[in-house]
Structure 1
Amino acid sequence: MNEGSEKGKTLLAFLKAFHIDKDQKDVKMLEEPESPYNPEFVAKIKNAEKEIEDGETFLLETDSIWESMK
């Protein structure tokens, strides 16, 4: 955690408000609940997001969708 960043300062202020020391050993992060989604579906979505980030997709203009299919 970067204590100098805005988010870091906000987290420290939150912890101080509840008198929780950031080095306190008995404070644990809760695990995320199990996803209700099919793991294969989640993998497809993550793959699609990566393709978008990598520029492996193209934009299809909806105004000219029929012309592009000719």
Structure 2
Amino acid sequence: MDIILKNVKKKDFPVLKSLAKSLGFEIIEEKEKPYNPEFVKEILDAEQSIKDGKGVKIDLEDLWK
């Protein structure tokens, strides 16, 4: 069985960790990975180019041709 704890305060984590260890549980910490900064810049640049009118409009009928 897996148990996932979310929004654990930093001050409470050592207590939970020691309790889990004393009960023989396996502890796996997963930290959130932020988006790749290059990817974020690419998306923001694309949104800005659309706002500037540099995008290409394709009719839905022509999309599958």
TM-score interval, normalised by the smaller of the two chains? 0.3 to 0.5
